[in-house]
Amino acid sequence: ARLCGCYTTITSSHYTLAFELEGSSCNSSLLIRVRVLIMTGKVAVVTGSNKGIGLATVKSLCSKFDGSVYLTARDVGRGLEAVEKLKKEGLNPLFHQLDIDDQKSIDDFAAHIKKEHGGLDILINNAAVLFMPGAPEPLELQVVETLKTNYYALKNVCNALFPLLRPHARVVTLSSIAGHLERMVPGEELRKKFADPDLTEEKLDQLMQDFVRDVKDGSYKEKGWPTVPYTAYAVSKVAASALTRIQHQRFLKDPREDIVINHVHPGYVDTDLVGHQGPLTTDQGAVAPVYAALLPANCKSPRGDFIWHTKEIVDWVNGPCPSAW
């Protein structure tokens, strides 16, 4: 005799456990095998989230998002310490190591998400670096290192995780007031290139290569690149915003329904990144990213837009640019 087809489920807000019973009788003994199928619910990932705006974003998502939230960090110790901090507040984030400058780390993380969850519902690209004004490193080195993390590593993360995005997924890339095209790029011809609706990743890559070249030969100011003390950071965030616009156009043609990407200026926030000079708290800095991450299904707007920390949609190309805080 054989038993099969006995099936039951237990569901919580974060997962579903499906128990499928299969058995047979042998020598008057009933042998039953239980196969447990774990079908996880929704999943959110925040890069660079062991401190600052990233940590505040994880904290907010743990309270508002009906699913699992991954806190990620380059350093395992600091990441686990941040997780324990949130657990003491009654929250339960998951942790996984992720160094966005390391392709193997990115690939390992993507493989983990695919294996354990089968897909991804929210991706918040928060990890970034900034050389403060007056940093001793030569500008050329600042440019190379900043673009490596804030642009090229950002692309690598997207390339690895975008295939895992499920229908109705939300992607949020943290930009900055320094990434506002009309405000930060004085050169009209350069602005036209960044604002070109037909801009491709290949053309954007070439613009970044041109910037490195122009810094190296000292012509970047006359070529129309930003001349602010944080030139490298500004260009990297303009590029991140331009990349978001390109990705938005791609998602419009994606067979997966309703994948939305936006770029966000979180405000001038009191974080390590800016030497704790910002007037806004990290919780305030997390408001706009979380808002963009939790946009309802099939919302008409914002889509591919530049969202200010006040949740206002700002014209990235033409301005005006509101107050930073």
- pTM of the predicted protein model: 0.87
Of the candidates 76, 94, 165, the one whose C-alpha atom is nearest the C-alpha of residue 125 is 165
245-277 pLDDT, tens per residue? 999 999 999 999 999 999 999 998 877 665 666
Which residue bears the tokens 């806004």?
Answer: 280
What SS3 class is residue 48?
A: coil
- pLDDT beyond 50 at 62: yes
What pLDDT does residue 268 have?
82
- Residue 233 among the catalytic residues: yes
Which fold does the domain 41-314 belong to in CATH?
A: Rossmann fold (3.40.50)
- pLDDT beyond 90 at 11: no
Of the candidates 169, 245, 233, the one whose C-alpha atom is nearest the C-alpha of residue 201 is 245
Burial of 18 (0-12, 13-18, 19+ CB in 10 A): middle
Between CA 267 and CA 279 the distance in angstroms is 9
Cα angle, residue 190 at apex, residues 187 and 195 outer, rounded to 5° = 120
69-81 pLDDT, tens per residue? 999 999 999 999 9
Which pLDDT band, with edges at 50, 70 and 90, does 24 fall under? very low
Q: What is the 3-state secondary structure (H, E, C) of 59-127?
A: HHHHHHCCCEEEEEECCHHHHHHHHHHHHCCCCCCEEEECCCCCHHHHHHHHHHHHHHHCCEEEEEECC
Q: What is the 3-state secondary structure (H, E, C) of 204-230?
A: HHHHHHHHHHHHHCCCCCCCCCCCCCC
Between CA 196 and CA 246 the distance in angstroms is 10
Amino acid at 87: K
Between CA 134 and CA 140 the distance in angstroms is 14
- Show me where the domains of the chain are located: 2-37, 41-314
What pLDDT does residue 320 have?
86
Q: Report which secondary-structure segment, H or E, holds 269.
A: none
Compute CA 3 distance to the chain's CA centroid, rounded to the nearest angstrom: 48
Q: Are 191 and 181 in contact (CB under 8 A)?
A: yes
37 Cβ contact list (under 8 Å, min separation 6):
17, 18, 19, 20
Between CA 265 and CA 284 the distance in angstroms is 12
Between CA 283 and CA 55 the distance in angstroms is 9
What pLDDT does residue 270 have?
74
Between CA 79 and CA 81 the distance in angstroms is 5
What pLDDT does residue 274 have?
58
> For residue 237, what are the CA distances in angstroms to 87, 167, 265, 286?
33, 27, 10, 18
Active-site residue identified among 151, 233, 268, 291: 233
